[in-house]
Structure 1
Amino acid sequence: MFRRRRREEPEQVAEEAAAPQTRESGPWDAEEAHPEADRVDLGGLRLTVSPDLDVQLAVAGDQPVGVIVLYQESALQLHAFAAPKRSGLWDDVRTKLAAGVKDAGGTTEERQGPFGTELFGQVPGDGGTPQPVRYLGIDGPRWFLRAVISGRAALDETIAARLEEVIGDVVVVRGEEPMAPEEAIVLRLPSEARAAGADDEGPKLNPFKRGPEISELR
């Protein structure tokens, strides 16, 4: 039996068409509307820094390859990669991460977090003592952001919330150049770090010191 579809009022259609698609949190793509904030420009990533955070760049030679944020005996690592236009990477990366942790003698389990499905792991640390780690992945338009939370924040929700704020305010600058899937998005030293005589009262940004790192698994 066929029924006639109820005719929508023109005003209703106009309101629905005009309604903006908004999100409360990022990570954001550089091409989409996102809240204004005082962010440090690292090329492929822009992130907010504040005096309570110690922000460092992980470098390979002279090339920055990731961001490390230290906060209350905890570390947040951020790495951005190119991704296919029509599919994300997190499902595949998460499977590889779980296999890598298992091969290293650790364990993992999937959990639901503020950015969707994440991987909670116990990885062997110094002396073989298991260390808690959270692996988070966010698929964006042609990019993938991987975040790793370790230290106290892997278990303490209050401390983790501060680092999750950092993740939710990140802006990813993918660029238009062709890139292979999982190719790292290029980072650069911020102009503040290149300038001589950093302001001691400003946010801490040490672009050369390498902070604590979890083994690169992807």
Structure 2
Amino acid sequence: MRRRKQQEQAEQAQENADEQVVDGPRSNGPWDRAEKEPSERHLDLGALLVRGRIGTDLRVPTEADGNRAAVVLLTEDAGLEMRAFAAPRSGGLWDEVRVEMGREVERLEGSCEEVAGPFGTELHVRLPATTPEGEPGVQPTRVIAVEGPRWMLRGTFLGRAALEPTDEGILMESFRDTIVVRGVEPRMAREALPVAPPVSAPTDGTAADDTSAT
């Protein structure tokens, strides 16, 4: 255990030496590919490089249109969905999207609250839902977003991570450790950046395929 801790500290020191200094809300991540070198523990998922962690189940679900745009991390009682989008150089995409999400929540007869978070304004949403027992209930979500160089990374926390929001924990660490690969090709603002199943597993004992990684 002690040797492994020393190894992790050495890896972190090397990562810190390789990365660029980023000011503002992203000073501790998430990162652009030009700002940070991925570690051996990062899974290459196309537009997102996600650091594998023991205790999380990683999934890259297929959308209804046959494409993949989201990475989902699950723990025993919580989840995090991450999606990256092309954004204008001038920024401001999250401000627009946040307003639209609020209107959609209202249409679905839910409630939506804007809250100050570590990356700026975030949304705490509660939507009507049906419990496994068939009783009426609510589904809470916490939606955060951060904008980088021509991209926006959105994170939606589910389960306990939404019911009891915290800026710490394994899921928030995963969000901060994520590296976005925007690419140089022209894209329309709001266009989803495509992700793909990992081609190899991280070295910490986790595994991955096109549906899940534990």
**TM-score, length-scaled by structure 1:** 0.76
Change (3 A) 1:120 1:151: same
3-state DSSP class of the match of 2:184? coil
Residue 76 of structure 1: aligned partner: 80
Whether 2:160 is the aligned partner of 1:152: answer yes
**Residues 72 and 159 in structure 1, CA contact (< 8 A), matched pair in contact too:** no
Cα deviation digits, residues 54-97 of structure 1 (max 9, x gap):
00012126532210100131110001110011223100011111
**Residues 72 and 152 in structure 1, CA contact (< 8 A), matched pair in contact too:** no
Whether 2:51 is the aligned partner of 1:52: answer no
Unaligned 5+ runs, structure 2? 1-19
3-state DSSP class of the match of 1:177? coil
- Tell me, in whole angstroms, the C-alpha distance in 1 between the residues paired with 2:110 and 2:51: 33
3-state DSSP class of the match of 1:25? coil
Query: Aligned match of 1:205 in 197, 208, 211?
Result: 208
**Residues 86 and 152 in structure 2, CA contact (< 8 A), matched pair in contact too:** yes
Residue 43 of structure 1: aligned partner: 46
Moved more, 179-188 or 127-136: 127-136
Kindly provide the amino acid, as one letter, of the partner of residue 129 in structure 1: G
By how many angstroms is 1:22 displaced? Answer: 4.0
Kindly provide the amino acid, as one letter, of the partner of residue 117 in structure 1: T
Kindly provide the amino acid, as one letter, of the partner of residue 106 in structure 1: G
Residue 191 of structure 1: aligned partner: 199
Moved more, 58-67 or 37-46: 58-67
Count, aligned residues: 185
Query: Aligned match of 1:133 in 135, 138, 141?
Result: 141
Listed as ranges, the matches of 1:1-218 within 5 Å are 21-22=21-22, 24-33=27-36, 36=39, 38-60=41-63, 62-126=66-130, 127-157=135-165, 161-192=169-200, 202-208=205-211
**TM-score, length-scaled by structure 2:** 0.78
By how many angstroms is 1:42 displaced? Answer: 0.5
- Tell me, in whole angstroms, the C-alpha distance in 2 between the residues paired with 1:159 and 1:140: 20
**Residues 88 and 140 in structure 1, CA contact (< 8 A), matched pair in contact too:** no
Change (3 A) 1:48 1:54: same
Cα deviation digits, residues 186-213 of structure 1 (max 9, x gap):
21221127xxxxx9x931434226xxxx
- Tell me, in whole angstroms, the C-alpha distance in 2 between the residues paired with 1:125 and 1:68: 21
Residue 213 of structure 1: aligned partner: none
